[in-house]
Structure 1
Amino acid sequence: MSLVDPQRSKKSDSEPKSKIDDLGFLEIAAGINPIVDIVAIHGLQGHREKTWTTDDGVCWLRDLLPSDLPNARILSYGYDVDTHNEERVSTHTLGRHADGFANALSRIRKDAPRRPIIFVAHNIGGIILKLALVICHNQDLDSSTELRDILVSTHGILYFGTPHFGLAGITFLEVVNRLASVYMETTNVILKDLRDHSNELEDIQRLYVTASEKISSIFFCEEYASSGISNREEVTVPYHSATIAGDCNATPIVLHANHRDLVRFASKESGNYKTVHYHLKAYVDHAPAAVQKKWVRENDCRDAAKGKSISEEVMSPKPRPVLSRLYVERKEIDYNITRKLLPDSRGKHQPRCILYGIGGAGKTQLATNWIQEHERSFSRVIVVDASSQSQLEADLERSIRSLGPEYSKMTWKDAVAYLDGKEKDWLLFVDNADPPGLDLRPYLPCSINGATLITTRNSACVAYAPDGAIHVGGLEENEAVNLLHTAANITPISDAESLEIVRELGMLALAITQAGAYIRKTRSLHTYLETFRQYRDRLLRKKPDIGTEYAFSTYEHTQHDS
């Protein structure tokens, strides 16, 4: 075992060890010709070794895993998230911890920056990790890109009892801190952001959805509450907070353990260890090929940002989203889009339409259908994905370079200028403009000779054209029921049960399509609601197999934006 980043001087054997000596990265296993990095990050009151170690001294990261996964380098990160300590406590916020973690990881990986990464996160270590990946995602393509290397190389994450949506028992821990402050150092800097329904955690999750688009996850949850004197200060993370409902790239698994023992395994015969090892091995086996594909795409985007030619495949125009076979016509919204984008007379401002609403409402499908019906009204339709700044810039650049060889060195700024100048009667379709911090103004042409259609979950985007905003909510009851019956391929005598189902699903097209696919497969209309309520997360993760379906937005936003 070697300290990866030894910056501190050695102490004499007689001098007490400081907690500072256990901060930073520790290389637990170097691996034999490693093909992946497994990176562990602890949580509240945690330690880079003790968190993963049983009372009998078995550290599974050191004593069990290396022999089972010899081709993995195993790193563990230590940082100060003690809420009380006799020596000292950190004043760092979640954001500062995340920034420190991301930069430390980048330094550790300088000799192999593109090696695939699998993260293992316990407790709020998962929150720090999510925020760190958001920081990596926000780095510009044309910057030095070290932090983006981390995001692109991330293949999978194992979350153990991470309170994605906060903890109900935080007030108790704050009380403990107040009592402990009489005889030791305490802080509530982190605790205040971990309260149930915390705005900070909601913001982190909203930003993380975009950053984690290509990352697979496992949510390991505890079966038992922490109890006993030795665990009196341990938190219990309920299932609904330890999982993210509707995350299509994630699998929730309950381990037979309390919160503390979620990450402590005494031997390879432990049932919990066997479960964790099974999923870790699957990630290790698939990571090299999956991450290599991600790097091909990333290299194209980076080349585009630097003005270099990219592959012929990327040079073709970005295709528009595919219209679902189960598309539900919504005449009033369709009429309003036409009124906004194709006015009877040209005014002083560019026609713009902004479709905004919660995830799963069908905004992209509405826009795609409208474009298909009115395509002849435009000389060209430019499609861009605004789920991230880098993707938006890459798609704009792709749009102008697709015009011909003479445009092969053009940038996204040239694309905007081209629409503002030479071209007329164009339609710019900006899809998935969801990130709260993304400023679209530099990317939107101002010319009145074209039109812009935007879909977004972020209601702040209404400011780009207040007179062009259209809210997209749930379907009408008859539309929702018809969609359910079509997706399920059923014609029940009564609509009563169907109405109850669509109301439970918030009248949202995406959720109803998923429900219909499940009912069609199981022929279980009468028992669907009972099954849904019992296995809600599993059902919302299933993607319908009926032809080409709705673009699958993360259903978590449907839950939390409503």
Structure 2
Amino acid sequence: MLEKGLHVLFDSSRDSPDHDIPEIDIVAVHGLNFMNKPDHAQDTWKAGNSLWLTDFLPGKLEKPARIMLFSYNSSPAISASALKLDDHAKNLLQCLELERQKASERHLIFICHSLGGLVVKEALIEANQNSRYRPILEATRLLVFFATPHRGGNYANIGDVVAKIVKFGSGNRRSNKLLDELKRNSDSATKRFAQSRHIYERCLIVNFYETIPYRGLGIIVDQDSATLGLPGSCEEQVPVDADHSSICKFDSIDTANCKLVLGTIVKQIGLALDIKPGNKHWTVLRPASPIFTGRQDIIQKIKSALTSYRPNTQKRFVITGMGGMGKSEVCLRVADELRERFWGVFWVDVSSDSTAKAGFSAIATMLESKGTGIDDTRLALSNIDPKHPWILILDNADNPDIDYQQYFPSGTRGAVIITSRNPKCSTYATVGSEDLNGLNKEHCISLLRQRIKSTSSLPEFDSGDAARVVDILGSHTLAILQAGAYIAHKYCSLKEYPDIFKEKGERLLNFDLPQDQSRYRNAYATLEASAEALCNMQSEQAQDSLCLLQVLSALHYENMPLDVFQAAWNGAQEVRDEAEAEDEDGDDRVNYLKYLTDEHVSQLPDFLEPHSRTWDTYRMSKAIDLLESLALIRKSHIYKCDTVSMHPLVHSWINLRQTQAEREEYLDRGLCIFALSRYYQPDWRPYRDRIENGQLQEAIDLFEYVVQIRKTTLEETHPNRLTSQHELARAYFENGQIQEAIGLLEQVVEIERTTLDETNPSRILLQELLAEARQNYAEMTDPQPASTSSTAAEQFEPEKRRKARYKLSSAKRLFTGKHPSMSSISLIRWAKRVAMASHKNELETVDEGAED
């Protein structure tokens, strides 16, 4: 006789010839013990001496498994068994929790007979409501029911029928709550059915139903009761040539019923384990790291908090901690593990206003919202049917001067996760917060080992040497990954790394690290080692990698589309073709290409081979591969587009180590790449699209609104006010409102006449634009072209004028289509200052928090 509880019948690690570690757990749960047999838990599945769960099933499974029996007192003839279903269900959950402590994520399959199916459904309902047992629910992949009365039995008085059976078996008429579960339309059974339907969305169902009467009593649980009527392939309904008792008993593997049951179960296990995540909307742009280590307790805490029942509160969880500690990776892992449970999982990088706008715009597009602004998207999320749960992840909420509540959808629906380096962000939490510190030493060593082994065949890994590396890195996750990549490239051994690190740390003393960056000195030292390794390599690939790293430093660190480089190469070919056409016919065309020159092309990186007539990705691809192998960047594939990203700390480190001249040089290169990428125009700025699509009046309305606001808030000489007036003039010009354009340009030119030197590039180019507008107006009204003074232009040397033109035209291009990969700084202001700086020979300091 088996005692109550869970019993392991078969374990592949113990009982199979190969001793494979189990990949699935199978739990068999019996039904009513009418006859009060002591071995009912086993006898339910036995015919003669054959217990098919151990004798036949293991040999048919494609994956190693552990098979268990759950035994509970289900005899309605014994007063001690007068327990409710939920008591049996809780006992099952407690036993599973203990048995699966070291394998809580292992796939789980339940095989149930009759009332055992109701016990399992009750257990899954409890697991859904109790975070302690939720891992059991999340691991469940297949439910197999044999004659389970999902909607009561065939007879309205089935309880009385069972009572007769009990009387026949034991002479006891004692009633029991368990009997009521078999009555059709009983309140408890109907309620459980309604409660448990949503559980079936996460797994597959097999319902075997009886077709032979039981001992003259007829069909105990008919097809209608034994099936759920789920849509599509979610449920498999299988008739078996057996009665209510023999439906799950087989004395030979060769019987027709055994072949049918085993074949169906094995097939459905294969399908169940291949189920893809069931959510509809997913905007998480990169996968979790394959060598993610530790943090399981924190991940479980977040999952429990976000799935808890809080109908009157929007669930917000905040993760704080130093950069490079793995906050985003924890979020990625949580998103992956909760994906099946949420209709929508949305990710927004809120490190800058532009990236936030881009992220919310992507969500709006996915939701088919009429508006694509942040407020439009927040409103759309707030009004999503509560049957469709969603998570919004706000990553990199680091700026202490920003109130991130502006990004929260209103109301109580949904869940929000926030990551921040600022500990004060924890005040936004409603269901919990976590300050992420370093991994424990065991996990740090494991992470270092995995990083080294992932790209290297180095055989030696001394745990003592690894512990010393971990100690000097202060258990900083990003620093460990960088060190592992460096060692994997065989630049040094594990034992030698501490000396390398010390040397690079001393070099950092020459950097003027801001106070808020000094705590990242360990991470920066590991990055310095990788940079020096690249510098010491003489190969073309290494030099291209350094150049690409510098170019990326002028851009935003997240998801830079690689297509833009090919678009820039295309632009370079257009410039060349236009120049050749101009040489042939002397046509000085008034179009976009007029503002692009060979100076732009000369700024493109060598790895793009801009002077070649054939586009070849080889050099750029090799450079990307080398940087990725050193963990300096990561490559992703998003919406059919390849992108590259880098950790924010890597981005900060590059900018910190650059000289002023290098910053200017690679800013210029970045500007030129975007200026030349004229064909690459996703909806970076809504009003740019409106102009391209001919919706000029709507664009003009927007520009006029901006100009009016800035007139009341900014001085007339403020660069932002002048820029918005300039863009409004351009919209007027393209809409044929030439007089309005001229009037506005004259105002701007007059202001710059009093504030800028007459040889200043910005002033000269505006004068040229005004002259162009006047010429167009004159051609419309007077056959004689309008004249304009060219004194300033004539006084400015041709070479400087040419350089000023390419810098300011780059700014113009960026302002009308600012790419989300550019940094959060207002690039139009920055680029105009670059143009002025080329005349002043200095770059003015730009306030990173400035508004556009």
TM, length-normalised to structure 2:
0.35
Contact 1:84 1:180 in 2 (8 A): no
Contact 1:375 1:381 in 2 (8 A): no
Question: In the alignment, which residue of structure 2 is the partner of 1:59?
Answer: 51
Change (3 A) 1:423 1:163: same
| 1:233-291 deviation line (CA, Å, top 9, x unaligned) | x9610100100113441111111111111101121111221122123223444555659
Distance (Å, rounded) in 2 between the aligned partners of 1:268 and 1:315 = 43
1:155 alignment partner, one of 120, 137, 141? 141
Whether 1:265 aligns to 2:250 is yes
What is the CA distance between 1:303 and its match in structure 2?
A: 3.9
Question: In the alignment, which residue of structure 2 is the partner of 1:97?
Answer: 88
Over 3 Å off, 4+ runs: 177-187, 283-316, 318-321, 368-379, 384-388, 426-431
What is the CA distance between 1:36 and its match in structure 2?
A: 0.9
1:244 alignment partner, one of 228, 235, 238? 228
Distance (Å, rounded) in 1 between the aligned partners of 2:399 and 2:188 = 44
Question: In the alignment, which residue of structure 1 is the partner of 2:196?
Answer: 208
Change (3 A) 1:370 1:109: closer
Amino acid corresponding to residue 194 of structure 2 in structure 1: R
Distance (Å, rounded) in 2 between the aligned partners of 1:239 and 1:155 = 23
Alignment of 1:38-49 (within 5 A): 38-45=26-33, 47-49=40-42
What is the CA distance between 1:149 and its match in structure 2?
A: 1.6
Whether 1:68 aligns to 2:60 is yes
Distance (Å, rounded) in 1 between the aligned partners of 2:372 and 2:59 = 60
Distance (Å, rounded) in 2 between the aligned partners of 1:112 and 1:273 = 30
What is the CA distance between 1:210 and its match in structure 2?
A: 2.2
Unmatched 5+ stretches in structure 2: 35-39, 280-286, 290-295, 306-316, 320-326, 345-364, 415-428, 431-852
Tell me the matched-pair count: 342
What is the CA distance between 1:129 and its match in structure 2?
A: 0.4
Distance (Å, rounded) in 2 between the aligned partners of 1:371 and 1:293 = 20
Contact 2:166 2:172 in 1 (8 A): no
Change (3 A) 1:216 1:175: closer
Structure with the larger RCO, 1 or 2 (CA within 8 Å, 6+ apart): 1
For the aligned residues, what is the CA RMSD?
4.6
Question: In the alignment, which residue of structure 2 is the partner of 1:113?
Answer: 104
What is the CA distance between 1:68 and its match in structure 2?
A: 2.7
Contact 1:381 1:429 in 2 (8 A): no
Contact 2:167 2:173 in 1 (8 A): no
Distance (Å, rounded) in 2 between the aligned partners of 1:286 and 1:191 = 35
Alignment of 1:461-540 (within 5 A): none
Change (3 A) 1:65 1:179: closer
What is the CA distance between 1:379 and its match in structure 2?
A: 6.6
| 1:501-548 deviation line (CA, Å, top 9, x unaligned) | xxxxxxxxxxxxxxxxxxxxxxxxxxxxxxxxxxxxxxxxxxxxxxxx
Contact 2:386 2:413 in 1 (8 A): no
Question: In the alignment, which residue of structure 1 is the partner of 2:5?
Answer: 24
Contact 1:36 1:288 in 2 (8 A): no
Distance (Å, rounded) in 2 between the aligned partners of 1:315 and 1:267 = 46
| 1:162-220 deviation line (CA, Å, top 9, x unaligned) | 10000143243365278569944733211123211111112112221223321111111
Question: In the alignment, which residue of structure 2 is the partner of 1:80?
Answer: 73
Question: In the alignment, which residue of structure 2 is the partner of 1:334?
Answer: none
What is the CA distance between 1:382 and its match in structure 2?
A: 4.9
Distance (Å, rounded) in 2 between the aligned partners of 1:38 and 1:320 = 28
Distance (Å, rounded) in 1 between the aligned partners of 2:288 and 2:195 = 24
Change (3 A) 1:179 1:371: same
| SS in structure 2 of the partner of residue 49 of structure 1 | helix
| 1:297-336 deviation line (CA, Å, top 9, x unaligned) | 99967546464434577889x9998xxxxxxxxxxxxxxx
1:221 alignment partner, one of 194, 206, 209? 209
What is the CA distance between 1:158 and its match in structure 2?
A: 0.9
Change (3 A) 1:176 1:89: farther
What is the CA distance between 1:29 and its match in structure 2?
A: 1.1
1:189 alignment partner, one of 172, 177, 183? 177
| SS in structure 1 of the partner of residue 181 of structure 2 | helix
| SS in structure 1 of the partner of residue 207 of structure 2 | strand
| 1:14-43 deviation line (CA, Å, top 9, x unaligned) | xxxxx6x44222221112422111110011
Amino acid corresponding to residue 44 of structure 1 in structure 2: L
Whether 1:130 aligns to 2:121 is yes
Question: In the alignment, which residue of structure 1 is the partner of 2:151?
Answer: 165
Unmatched 5+ stretches in structure 1: 1-18, 322-367, 432-441, 444-562
Distance (Å, rounded) in 2 between the aligned partners of 1:94 and 1:296 = 40
What is the CA distance between 1:132 and its match in structure 2?
A: 0.3
| SS in structure 1 of the partner of residue 138 of structure 2 | helix
What is the CA distance between 1:97 and its match in structure 2?
A: 0.9
What is the CA distance between 1:128 and its match in structure 2?
A: 0.6
| SS in structure 2 of the partner of residue 25 of structure 1 | strand
Amino acid corresponding to residue 129 of structure 1 in structure 2: V
Alignment of 1:446-457 (within 5 A): none
Distance (Å, rounded) in 2 between the aligned partners of 1:82 and 1:315 = 44
Distance (Å, rounded) in 1 between the aligned partners of 2:369 and 2:100 = 47
Change (3 A) 1:252 1:30: same
Whether 1:383 aligns to 2:381 is yes
Between Structure 1 and Structure 2, whose CA radius of gyration is higher?
2
Contact 1:225 1:258 in 2 (8 A): yes
Change (3 A) 1:133 1:182: closer
Percent identity over the alignment? 22
Distance (Å, rounded) in 1 between the aligned partners of 2:101 and 2:66 = 14
Query: Whose helix proportion is higher, 1 or 2?
Result: 2
Distance (Å, rounded) in 2 between the aligned partners of 1:430 and 1:149 = 24
Distance (Å, rounded) in 2 between the aligned partners of 1:237 and 1:259 = 7
Whether 1:253 aligns to 2:241 is no
Contact 1:84 1:177 in 2 (8 A): no
Distance (Å, rounded) in 1 between the aligned partners of 2:117 and 2:385 = 26
| SS in structure 2 of the partner of residue 84 of structure 1 | coil
What is the CA distance between 1:406 and its match in structure 2?
A: 3.2
| SS in structure 2 of the partner of residue 113 of structure 1 | coil
Alignment of 1:310-389 (within 5 A): 310=328, 372=369, 378=376, 380-383=378-381
Change (3 A) 1:286 1:35: farther
Amino acid corresponding to residue 245 of structure 2 in structure 1: R
Distance (Å, rounded) in 2 between the aligned partners of 1:429 and 1:375 = 22
Question: In the alignment, which residue of structure 2 is the partner of 1:483?
Answer: none
Contact 1:383 1:429 in 2 (8 A): no
Amino acid corresponding to residue 223 of structure 1 in structure 2: T
| 1:64-122 deviation line (CA, Å, top 9, x unaligned) | 2233337221111111111125xx54121011111111111211222322211111111
Distance (Å, rounded) in 2 between the aligned partners of 1:127 and 1:205 = 9
